[in-house]
Amino acid sequence: MDNAMTIAKYCEKNLSSKKEFPSYVRNNYSFLFSLLKNELLPANVLQHINKRLLAQRVYNKFFYEEIQSLSKLPYRLIGFKGFFIQAKYYPQEYTRLCGDIDVLVSTKNSYRVYKSILRMNYSLSEYKLQTIIFRHIFISFLQHLSFTKRVHERINVAVELHVNLNVKCRVRFALSKMIKNAVLCDYGNFKFYVFEPTDNLLYLMFHPISHLCYVRHGSNEITINLQSIYDVAQVIDNEIVNWDLFCERAIQYKLTPYISLYIHIFNDIFPDKIPTITVEKLRATAVMNKFHWEKAYSFAINKLASQIIVGDFDDTPAIRDIYAQISKHDRREWKKTRKAWKSIEKTKT
């Protein structure tokens, strides 16, 4: 069965009875139901989806042009998420919704790339303090910079320049090795570096979990976007995955609780794609690790995957208490960061 059909069947069986299902579909399942033209959706939701898909077709045209320009810079930029997943793994590119271009660059080249992007008529869309910091030195806790460019009368293209994937979540991606191991991918008129399959898979699993509000303070995400599930299924089907290396890097990057919770959800939809021994090893390692959202993990890992997908436990006292504890921890970290920023602002302005 096609991956999209498998997810659709899962939705009908496990999620369609949820009271928030229609709005949740509208926001998160556009790609899936556009492929299937599923009769489950009311006419107004289908209309909304068709508008988004038409807009995505237009955006993709400009994405191609801007990424082609970025590919000409004399630095190794690594494309990930969004456009780079849809172009390589989706049968119809425009059916994967994405709103910006994400690229990773090494710290040593970050300032040069920053200046190059500005010369491409982009403007920095972050607040003033980040501009001040970046103008003098790139600070490792500055996760990314956002740029925007007007490419049409009513269309802006956004680029996010990442230097550090480890901010806010206490993980340890080996960024220099990930950049070194990146592979060139052919996009027709140009080539662009992307993560090699193991690193790509790990990041795609980590990312949606890292945005959950009970995992990271400051986020308002309570649901899992099934587009991310489809992304991972497509990568597994189209790449040769070394699952031993996958486990080894998950442990090395301190990702095991994120990956373990993600696989808990993924396996409920696709029970045969990931080897059982890999699942067991990651879960055992996650339990042994100490991490800042440990209580949230213990709470969520024992819930049904369908409950986690739609956030069907956000009103329980347990999850509120966990979120409060994480918030307290992250506020402490934020105060340290803010103090450092203010110190730099005083000395560099």
Full-model pTM? 0.85
Picking from 188, 99, 101, 194, the residue whose alpha carbon sits closest to that of residue 144 is 101
Q: Which of 55-59, 208-212, 309-313, 323-327 has the lowest mean pLDDT?
A: 323-327
In 3-state terms, what secondary structure has residue 324? helix
Domains in the chain: how many in total?
1
Confidence (pLDDT) at 77: 96
Beta strands across the sheet bearing 123-124: 123-124, 144-152, 155-162, 101-104, 78-80, 191-194, 183-186
- Could you tell me the two tokens for 59? 């955006």
Q: How confident is the model at residue 326 (pLDDT cuts 50, 70, 90)?
A: low
The whole domain housing 272 covers 3-348
Q: Which alpha helices (DSSP H) does the chain contain, by range?
A: 3-14, 21-28, 30-36, 43-71, 82-89, 107-119, 128-136, 175-181, 197-210, 226-238, 243-252, 256-269, 276-288, 294-300, 305-310, 317-348
From its phi and psi, is residue 186 left (phi > 0), alpha (psi between -120 and 50) or beta? beta
Tell me 146's DSSP state. Answer: E
Of 45 and 69, which is predicted with more confidence? Answer: 69
Confidence (pLDDT) at 78: 97
Confidence (pLDDT) at 29: 53
Report whether pLDDT(136) > 60.
no
Tell me: the pLDDT tens digits for 193-234? Answer: 999 999 999 999 999 999 888 887 667 777 888 889 999 999
Residue 198 CB-density burial (10 A; 0-12 exposed, 13-18 middle, 19+ buried) = buried
Tell me: the pLDDT tens digits for 257-291? Answer: 999 999 999 999 999 999 999 999 999 999 888 78
Backbone angles phi and psi of 124, in degrees to 5: -75, 125
CB 286 within 8 A of CB 251: no
